[in-house]
Amino acid sequence: MGGAFLAAAVLARLGGRIGLPTIPLFILAGILLGPHTPGYTLLSNPHDLEMLSALGLVLLLFYLGLEFHLDDLKTGGRKMAIAGGTYLVLNVGAGLGFGFALGWGTSEALVLAGVLGISSSAIVTKILVDLKRIGNPETRPILGIIVVEDVFLALYLAALQPILSGADSLSAMLVDGGKAFGFLLLLALAARFGTKIIGKLMNTKDDELLVISFLGAAVFVAGISEMFGVADAIGAFMVGLMLGSTASGERILKLVHPLRDAFGAIFFFAFGLSIDPGDLPSVFWPVVAAVVLTLAMNVAAGLAASRVYDFGTQATANIATTLVARGEFALILATMAAAAGLDKRLSPFIAGYVLLLAVLAPLAAGRSHWLARILPGPRGGKDGGGDGGGGGGKDGDKDQQQVPVSV
């Protein structure tokens, strides 16, 4: 574990000197020191970091929930649903069509629909933090789309599991989906009506007790969520949503930072350990085609979201480039596909696709102003920051001032 932390830190420091984002460098460290790459192997079994990696994902989504306040859900629910629904229709639909075009099979096409259709919550969160865009106006729609995707994710996994396992019982499928939806509804009701009670339970002046309390709550609910067929990270997100509206919300936001950064790095490092570079050449062209399709669909989704929220071209470009990353959900689907004995080309395809977008997404998001120059639409309107630092000019400065001190 110490070697993993140090390797990620060294590569990130070297890359930072030439302006590279940290996410692909953490992943690269995992690839170079993993069991599939010639040379020194730090970890022969990637599962040795499985619990730490899961904790990193939980903390990243917990932080995202802290930033996404309940007021945003109350006031922007309709717009959020439209923007998120449009994103899913475009990207999941394109992924399903791409899967059938490859001709690998119906089950494989359903897997690819999810792989190409769902953004990486972890990478999107990291990009927003690294580029200091948490306070930008377009960040709320981005987080809203992530929430809609996460709800869809839970239902999609529940529906896909019996298909991949060969179960032909519609009743079993409905029961699994009902359990997942019911638990999500329970968490949503707790976030809506239980904030005062939760706030009293969490309230303490002692930082040590507060850290133990919110960390325990996030991890415990994440584990319970998984038992009900809901992704563990979604449970952590809902806990963050609850705690962010309490009197301790600002303190929790500050205290969770070092934990989020440390274990988030392990999440991306562990992702790199699972990638076998030797399998990538066999699926090179399908990966390239999928990446091009994803980029195109994200630009279309960005334009649609900006029309809903009346944004200008810079905010449109920020939405399109930030959401393009794919990650943890794709890896979950790859594991499910392998366990179900589906086409062996799926695993290297998903690994290459996710790795390429994990590298491209932070780079594209930091240079979104290039895309903004060629996008159709008004140059005015409510707009976001234009560069990697969170904005330029008066609007950019205003957005930058809205970023919490802890960020």
CA dihedral (175, 160, 335, 118) positive or negative: negative
pLDDT in tens, 233-249: 778 888 998 898 888 98
Crossing angle of helices 139-164 and 50-67, rounded to 10°: 140
Cα separation values, 267 from 15, 58, 310, Å: 18, 10, 36
Main-chain dihedrals φ then ψ at residue 178, nearest 5 degrees: -65, -40
Q: At 131, is the secondary structure helix, strand, or coil?
A: coil
Residue 397's pLDDT is what?
37
Distance, in Å, from the CA atom of 320 to the CA atom of 300, rounded to the nearest integer, reads 8
Q: Which residue has the higher pLDDT, 16 or 386?
A: 16
CB atoms within 10 A of CB 178: 12
The model's pLDDT over 246-261, given as tens digits with 9 standing for 90+, comes to: 889 899 999 998 998 8
On the question of pLDDT at 374 being above 80, the answer is yes
pLDDT tens string 159-214: 776 677 665 566 766 776 677 778 878 888 887 788 888 888 888 899 999 999 99
pLDDT tens per residue across span 386-398: 444 444 333 443 3
Least confident of 268-277, 349-358, 367-376: 268-277
Residue 382 β-bridge partners: 311
Which of 239, 144, 230 shows the shortest CA–CA distance to 183? Answer: 230
Burial 48-66, CB ≥16 within 10 A → b, else e: ebeebbbbbbbbbbbbbbb
CB 7 within 8 A of CB 33: yes
Identify the bridge partners of residue 78 per DSSP, sorted by sequence position.
none
| HEC sequence for 355-402 | HHHHHHHHHHHHCHHHHHCCCCCCCCCECCCCCCCCCCHHHHHHHHHC
Rounded (5°) CA angle 300-303-305: 110
Burial class (CB in 10 A: 0-12, 13-18, 19+), 242: buried
- Asked if the model's pLDDT at residue 5 lies above 50, the reply is yes
Q: Number of helices and strands (H, E) in the chain? A: 19, 0
pLDDT in tens, 82-120: 999 999 999 999 999 999 999 999 999 999 999 999 998
Instruction: Report the distance separating Cα 289 and Cα 307, nearest Å.
Output: 27
Q: What is the mean pLDDT of the segment spanning 279-294? A: 92
Average pLDDT over residues 44-54: 85
Mean pLDDT score of the chain: 82
pTM for this model (two decimals)? 0.71
